[in-house]
Amino acid sequence: MMAPSSEHLLVSHEAYRWFVTIVTGGASSYWLFIDSFRLRKALRADRSKGVVRDQIFGSIVGLTIGAIGVLGAVLSLS
């Protein structure tokens, strides 16, 4: 097994780590925003339909994943 190499770096390790943190935090925040909007919309629809109940569940999963991403980005800075 070969360990991660410092050769052939596109950017410094420090800059790369910041890039990953910003992308993770940014994408997660976007998910939180989009899924809170979708959840609000689904909650206004006819909940007797299975597809609407699934949309609500999916949005809750999306919100949770968004929160996991934001928390992960914050924890990586500590």
Partner 1 sequence: MASNLNPANAITATRFLTLPPFVWAIHHGYYQLAAVAIIVCGLLDLVDGAVARLFNCITPFGAVFDALADGFCYGFFMLVLVGYGWVPWPPVALIILMGVANTWLRAIYARRAGKTVNYRSFAMERCVAFAAYLGGFGASGYMVDYFYWTFVAMMALSLVHDAKRMAIDPVEADDDERDAGAPVAVVA
Confirm or reject binding of residue 78 to partner 1 (CB under 8 A). no
Using the rule CB under 8 A, which residue among 40, 41, 47, 49 binds partner 1? Answer: 49
* Spatial CB neighbours of 30, under 8 Å, sequence gap ≥ 6: 66
Size of the site for partner 1 (CB under 8 A): 35
Please choose, from the candidates 27, 20, 5, the residue with its C-alpha nearest in 3D space to the C-alpha of residue 76.
20
Separation of alpha carbons 74 and 20, rounded Å? 12
CA angle 61, 38, 20 (to 5 degrees): 60
* Cβ-based neighbours of 7, under 8 Å, separated by 6 or more: none
Is 24 an interacting residue with respect to partner 1 (CB under 8 A)? yes
Task: Report, in Å, the least distance between residue 77 CB and partner 1.
Answer: 11
Minimum CB separation of residue 76 from partner 1 in Å reads 5
Kindly list the residues in this chain that would bind partner 1 in the complex (CB under 8 A): 1-5, 7-11, 16-17, 20-21, 24, 27, 31, 35, 49-51, 54-55, 57-59, 61-62, 64-65, 68-69, 72, 75-76
